[in-house]
Amino acid sequence: MKQKQNSTKKEKAGIYLETKPVVDTFKNINKYFLPKPLENSHHAYLRYVTSEGQELIIRGGPKNNNQLNALGTGSIHMQSNIPFSDSYDYYNRGTEANKRFSHKLDIDEKNLDQVWNKMLKISDEITNEQFPYDNLPQQQNSNSVIRTILDETNFDGLQQIPHQLLKHLPGYDKNLFSYPRISKEIKEDPNPELMRAWDSIMKGGNDEKDDI
Protein backbone atom coordinates (compact mmCIF):
# COMPACT_ATOMS: atom_id res chain seq x y z
CA MET A 1 0.00 0.00 0.00
CA LYS A 2 1.38 3.39 -0.97
CA GLN A 3 0.62 6.67 0.69
CA LYS A 4 1.72 10.24 0.40
CA GLN A 5 4.57 11.01 2.75
CA ASN A 6 3.57 13.63 5.28
CA SER A 7 6.07 14.93 7.81
CA THR A 8 3.26 16.08 10.12
CA LYS A 9 1.35 12.80 10.11
CA LYS A 10 1.37 11.02 13.46
CA GLU A 11 3.34 7.81 13.20
CA LYS A 12 2.01 4.50 14.42
CA ALA A 13 3.31 3.44 17.81
CA GLY A 14 6.10 0.93 17.33
CA ILE A 15 9.80 0.18 17.36
CA TYR A 16 11.45 1.13 14.08
CA LEU A 17 14.73 -0.19 12.72
CA GLU A 18 16.24 2.67 10.71
CA THR A 19 19.45 3.35 8.83
CA LYS A 20 21.08 6.45 7.41
CA PRO A 21 24.22 7.15 5.34
CA VAL A 22 27.41 7.24 7.40
CA VAL A 23 28.31 10.59 5.82
CA ASP A 24 25.21 12.00 7.57
CA THR A 25 26.18 10.46 10.91
CA PHE A 26 29.46 12.09 11.86
CA LYS A 27 29.61 15.83 12.44
CA ASN A 28 31.34 17.77 9.68
CA ILE A 29 32.57 14.61 8.03
CA ASN A 30 33.98 14.85 4.53
CA LYS A 31 32.95 11.83 2.47
CA TYR A 32 36.37 11.88 0.83
CA PHE A 33 37.90 11.27 4.26
CA LEU A 34 36.22 7.88 4.51
CA PRO A 35 38.01 4.75 3.29
CA LYS A 36 36.33 3.20 0.25
CA PRO A 37 34.67 0.37 2.27
CA LEU A 38 32.75 3.02 4.23
CA GLU A 39 31.94 5.56 1.50
CA ASN A 40 28.48 4.14 0.78
CA SER A 41 27.87 2.50 4.13
CA HIS A 42 24.88 3.03 6.41
CA HIS A 43 24.50 3.37 10.18
CA ALA A 44 21.63 1.58 11.99
CA TYR A 45 19.69 2.53 15.12
CA LEU A 46 16.36 1.75 16.83
CA ARG A 47 13.64 4.37 17.34
CA TYR A 48 10.65 3.80 19.63
CA VAL A 49 7.47 5.79 19.00
CA THR A 50 5.31 5.38 22.11
CA SER A 51 1.52 5.36 22.11
CA GLU A 52 1.72 8.96 23.41
CA GLY A 53 3.88 9.97 20.46
CA GLN A 54 7.18 10.28 22.34
CA GLU A 55 10.26 9.23 20.36
CA LEU A 56 13.14 7.42 22.08
CA ILE A 57 16.32 5.92 20.65
CA ILE A 58 18.89 3.18 21.11
CA ARG A 59 22.10 3.64 19.14
CA GLY A 60 25.80 2.92 19.42
CA GLY A 61 28.90 4.61 18.08
CA PRO A 62 32.14 6.32 19.09
CA LYS A 63 31.98 8.51 22.17
CA ASN A 64 32.69 11.69 20.21
CA ASN A 65 30.61 11.74 17.05
CA ASN A 66 33.04 13.45 14.70
CA GLN A 67 35.17 12.48 11.73
CA LEU A 68 38.28 11.99 13.85
CA ASN A 69 36.53 9.03 15.46
CA ALA A 70 34.87 7.69 12.31
CA LEU A 71 37.33 4.80 12.17
CA GLY A 72 37.02 4.10 15.86
CA THR A 73 38.63 4.98 19.17
CA GLY A 74 37.82 3.71 22.63
CA SER A 75 34.78 1.63 23.54
CA ILE A 76 31.38 1.56 21.89
CA HIS A 77 29.35 4.41 23.37
CA MET A 78 25.60 3.85 23.80
CA GLN A 79 22.78 6.39 23.71
CA SER A 80 19.77 4.56 25.13
CA ASN A 81 16.24 5.63 26.00
CA ILE A 82 16.96 9.30 25.43
CA PRO A 83 14.67 11.55 23.35
CA PHE A 84 15.30 11.01 19.66
CA SER A 85 15.61 14.78 19.24
CA ASP A 86 18.61 14.78 21.63
CA SER A 87 20.47 12.03 19.77
CA TYR A 88 23.10 12.13 17.04
CA ASP A 89 20.57 10.52 14.68
CA TYR A 90 17.77 13.08 14.87
CA TYR A 91 16.61 14.33 11.48
CA ASN A 92 14.13 16.64 9.82
CA ARG A 93 11.53 14.36 8.28
CA GLY A 94 10.63 16.96 5.69
CA THR A 95 14.11 17.08 4.18
CA GLU A 96 15.89 13.87 5.14
CA ALA A 97 13.29 11.11 5.49
CA ASN A 98 13.80 9.78 1.95
CA LYS A 99 17.49 9.20 2.65
CA ARG A 100 16.70 6.73 5.42
CA PHE A 101 15.46 3.17 5.48
CA SER A 102 12.74 2.63 8.10
CA HIS A 103 11.08 -0.66 9.03
CA LYS A 104 8.52 -1.11 11.80
CA LEU A 105 9.23 -4.31 13.73
CA ASP A 106 6.36 -6.78 14.05
CA ILE A 107 5.36 -6.23 17.68
CA ASP A 108 1.87 -6.10 19.18
CA GLU A 109 1.31 -2.59 20.54
CA LYS A 110 0.49 -3.87 24.02
CA ASN A 111 3.95 -5.50 24.18
CA LEU A 112 6.00 -2.52 23.00
CA ASP A 113 7.15 -1.38 26.46
CA GLN A 114 8.15 -4.92 27.41
CA VAL A 115 10.20 -5.41 24.24
CA TRP A 116 11.81 -1.97 24.53
CA ASN A 117 12.83 -2.68 28.13
CA LYS A 118 14.47 -5.93 27.00
CA MET A 119 16.36 -3.98 24.36
CA LEU A 120 17.49 -1.47 26.99
CA LYS A 121 18.79 -4.33 29.12
CA ILE A 122 20.90 -5.61 26.21
CA SER A 123 22.12 -2.05 25.61
CA ASP A 124 23.27 -1.85 29.24
CA GLU A 125 25.08 -5.18 28.89
CA ILE A 126 26.91 -3.87 25.81
CA THR A 127 27.97 -0.81 27.79
CA ASN A 128 29.19 -2.96 30.68
CA GLU A 129 31.27 -5.16 28.36
CA GLN A 130 33.10 -2.09 26.96
CA PHE A 131 33.45 -3.56 23.47
CA PRO A 132 36.07 -1.69 21.41
CA TYR A 133 34.63 0.55 18.70
CA ASP A 134 36.37 -0.30 15.43
CA ASN A 135 35.11 0.47 11.91
CA LEU A 136 38.22 -0.92 10.21
CA PRO A 137 39.38 -3.60 9.92
CA GLN A 138 37.36 -5.41 12.59
CA GLN A 139 34.04 -3.68 11.78
CA GLN A 140 32.65 -3.80 15.30
CA ASN A 141 30.45 -0.75 15.45
CA SER A 142 26.95 0.75 15.65
CA ASN A 143 25.58 -1.83 13.23
CA SER A 144 26.96 -4.65 15.37
CA VAL A 145 25.10 -3.11 18.31
CA ILE A 146 21.74 -3.18 16.53
CA ARG A 147 22.28 -6.69 15.14
CA THR A 148 23.09 -7.88 18.68
CA ILE A 149 20.03 -6.24 20.23
CA LEU A 150 17.71 -7.68 17.57
CA ASP A 151 19.17 -11.18 17.87
CA GLU A 152 19.13 -11.14 21.67
CA THR A 153 15.46 -10.07 21.77
CA ASN A 154 14.38 -12.91 19.45
CA PHE A 155 14.28 -10.93 16.21
CA ASP A 156 16.31 -12.36 13.36
CA GLY A 157 18.47 -9.39 12.42
CA LEU A 158 19.05 -10.68 8.90
CA GLN A 159 15.34 -10.84 8.15
CA GLN A 160 14.70 -7.24 9.27
CA ILE A 161 16.92 -5.74 6.56
CA PRO A 162 16.48 -5.91 2.76
CA HIS A 163 19.27 -7.93 1.21
CA GLN A 164 20.46 -5.06 -0.96
CA LEU A 165 21.14 -3.03 2.19
CA LEU A 166 23.20 -5.69 3.98
CA LYS A 167 26.31 -4.93 1.92
CA HIS A 168 26.02 -1.29 3.03
CA LEU A 169 25.96 -2.18 6.74
CA PRO A 170 29.53 -3.06 7.76
CA GLY A 171 29.55 -4.78 11.14
CA TYR A 172 25.92 -5.93 10.89
CA ASP A 173 27.11 -9.51 10.42
CA LYS A 174 28.48 -9.49 13.97
CA ASN A 175 26.58 -10.35 17.15
CA LEU A 176 28.84 -8.91 19.84
CA PHE A 177 27.93 -11.67 22.31
CA SER A 178 28.48 -14.65 20.03
CA TYR A 179 31.01 -13.67 17.36
CA PRO A 180 32.48 -15.43 15.45
CA ARG A 181 29.26 -17.10 14.42
CA ILE A 182 28.00 -18.95 11.38
CA SER A 183 25.78 -16.53 9.47
CA LYS A 184 22.26 -17.79 8.94
CA GLU A 185 21.25 -18.61 5.39
CA ILE A 186 19.47 -15.74 3.69
CA LYS A 187 16.02 -16.79 2.56
CA GLU A 188 15.68 -17.45 -1.16
CA ASP A 189 12.54 -15.31 -1.24
CA PRO A 190 13.38 -12.05 0.56
CA ASN A 191 10.65 -9.75 1.80
CA PRO A 192 9.53 -7.84 -1.34
CA GLU A 193 8.26 -4.84 0.66
CA LEU A 194 11.65 -4.33 2.30
CA MET A 195 13.38 -4.66 -1.06
CA ARG A 196 11.04 -2.12 -2.64
CA ALA A 197 11.61 0.38 0.18
CA TRP A 198 15.38 0.09 -0.18
CA ASP A 199 15.22 0.42 -3.97
CA SER A 200 13.31 3.68 -3.52
CA ILE A 201 16.01 5.06 -1.21
CA MET A 202 18.80 4.10 -3.61
CA LYS A 203 16.95 6.00 -6.36
CA GLY A 204 16.93 9.12 -4.21
CA GLY A 205 13.47 8.78 -2.68
CA ASN A 206 10.23 10.34 -3.84
CA ASP A 207 6.98 11.75 -2.52
CA GLU A 208 5.55 8.33 -1.87
CA LYS A 209 6.62 5.79 0.70
CA ASP A 210 5.77 2.17 1.22
CA ASP A 211 3.85 1.59 4.41
CA ILE A 212 5.83 -1.28 5.91
- Sequential DSSP letters for 48-111: EE-TTS-EEEEEEE-SS-BGGGTT--SBPEEEEEEEGGGSTT---HHHHGGGSEEEE----GGG
Between 139 and 175, the higher pLDDT residue: 175
C-alpha distances (whole Å) from 119 to each of 15, 78, 143 are 10, 12, 15
Domain-located, residue 14: yes
Domain-located, residue 212: no
> pLDDT (tens digit, 9 = 90+) per residue, 44-98?
999 999 999 999 999 998 876 554 455 556 788 899 999 999 988 887 655 566 6
Domain-located, residue 67: yes
Domain-located, residue 211: no
Q: How many structural domains comprise the chain? A: 1
Domain-located, residue 79: yes
Domain-located, residue 162: yes
> pLDDT (tens digit, 9 = 90+) per residue, 176-212?
987 543 333 333 445 666 666 656 666 665 444 444 3
Tell me, what's the pLDDT at 184? 36
14 neighbors 104 (Cβ within 8 angstroms): yes
Q: Which domain, by its residues, includes 33?
A: 2-206
Domain-located, residue 114: yes
Average pLDDT, the chain: 77
Question: Rounded to an integer, what is the distance from CA 63 to the centroid of its chain?
Answer: 17
